[in-house]
Amino acid sequence: MSTSSTAATRMERDSMGELAVPADALWGAQTQRAVENFPISGQPMPRAFIKALIQIKLAAARANGRLGLIAAEEASAVGAACEELLAGDFMPHFPIDVFQTGSGTSSNMNANEVIATLASRRLGRAVSANDVVNFGQSSNDTIPSAIHVAAACAIKNELLLAIAHFIGVTEAKAAEVHPVVKTGRTHLMDAMPVRLSQVLKGWNVQIATCDQNLRFALGMLEILAQGGTAVGTGINTDARFAPAVCEELTHITGITFRSGANRFALMGAQDTAVATSGQLRTLAVALTKIANDLRWMNSGPLAGLGEIELPALQPGSSIMPGKVNPVIPEAVAMVAAQVVGNDACIAMAGASGNFELNVMLPVIARNLLESIALLTPALRLLADKAIAGFTVNTARIEEALSRNPILVTALNPVIGYAKAAEIAKRAYKEKRPIIDVAEEMSGLPRAELERLLDPAALTEGGIVAGGGGGG
């Protein structure tokens, strides 16, 4: 909606005086002041956050009406206005930049004014944005609550489902490739053999651990600051209000929200958001590891490892014909980098609690919700367009495995580390299969060496116990 001098306007008034507002805007003077004060990024608050904010206003209207704290007809009109917004495209009515007042007061008043306008139209008389829509609330408890509600809904309804999908796809692929035994690597150097299924199952444990941690974070997000009002004491609100709001929110969202027993920490700090972001960062780090494993195994096809071939999705070069790149793992790695950056911002913002209020709430909301929104499709894409469809270069894997001198590690308990090292060095130097060199140097019969150096058996801990060390 235009705010230029040539656009049709109407005059609105707030406690600071009159201000011209676009004639067709649902918002009022306080929103307009924020639009004009913060022309910074051009990014409005995230849709998920605005939706949660409207849901809180709906829950508050229902609670206030049920408790008799505002007139029944006003409660009904405000509730209907919220439902109207939630049923349509509400984002054009919420233009305020993310980088605004640190309490999010501008966004709270934006919601109050838009809802008041719609409620006034329904009721046929003025409904106050402050005294009715915002009754029993403050930006200082409502904005932290909206962050929790939005993040909880996004994690439960979107991210956890994407994680489950990733785990399912990867588990199925692990079963498919279980017969494949490949050279393991530590320090990017040849090491003892592993099954390809073991690699994939290792990825799944990483992601499943993230799932467990996010579920714990979800439980913390269900605790809301609502009811603390201005500074955490609950001034100007009924003691029954916060529990009633949480009850209504539970009905609206399907998530069991509850009001915090002590709202001072929930308003003066944002520790739950910081912790949740930390779990998202851990998920991002895990995805980076998985994406890079896929890129390394796919590298080549001639001069790299070439153990697998990822699905060919698009040409990889504007100048080199026939080149195909691992575009999905690369995209996921970039998502992960952004999530780590978002987490650094949230950590800094979380440290900006001054006495009874954190003053970087909008940017916490933006970054937290962006991280969830980025990770959700990234998980699905990595599963569906990389892991599910890669093919195994069996010949390349078997050729490298047969010449891997590190297999001699299995002979340590029989011939000792020093002798095994001599065999490995000779096999490296002569580029011969380890079993042939071991037959010449160890004195062990070929059949015994075949038993001891069987790569598949070695993936289950080997045949001969003993030995140790790192590397």
Q: Which residues are catalytic?
A: 187, 317
- For residues 183 and 357, give the distance between their C-alpha atoms in angstroms, rounded to a whole number: 55
Using DSSP, state whether 232 is helix, strand or coil.
coil
- For residues 226 and 36, give the distance between their C-alpha atoms in angstroms, rounded to a whole number: 29
Quote the strand ranges of 329-452, DSSP E. Answer: 353-354, 357-358, 391-392
Task: Write the Ramachandran bin of 355: left for phi over 0, alpha for psi from -120 to 50, otherwise beta.
Answer: left
In whole angstroms, how far apart are CA 8 and each of 5, 20, 21, 290? 8, 9, 9, 55
401 half-sphere exposure, CB direction, 13 A CA radius: 23
- Concatenate the DSSP letters of all residues of 155-211 into one string: IIIIIHHHHHHHHHHHHHHHHHTTT-EEEEEETTEEEEEEEHHHHHHHHHHHHHHHH
Do residues 338 and 374 lie in contact, with contact meaning Cβ atoms separated by under 8 Å? yes
- For residues 265 and 285, give the distance between their C-alpha atoms in angstroms, rounded to a whole number: 29
What residues contact 218, with CB distance under 8 A and at least 6 apart?
152, 155, 156, 160
Q: How many C-beta atoms lie closer than 10 Å to residue 388's C-beta?
A: 14
Beta bridge partners of 259: 224
Residue written as token pair 């949740």 = 276
Query: Residue 166: is it exposed, middle or buried by C-beta count within 10 angstroms (0-12/13-18/19+)?
Result: buried
Do residues 136 and 240 lie in contact, with contact meaning Cβ atoms separated by under 8 Å? no
Helix, strand, coil distribution of the chain in percent, nearest 5: 60, 10, 30
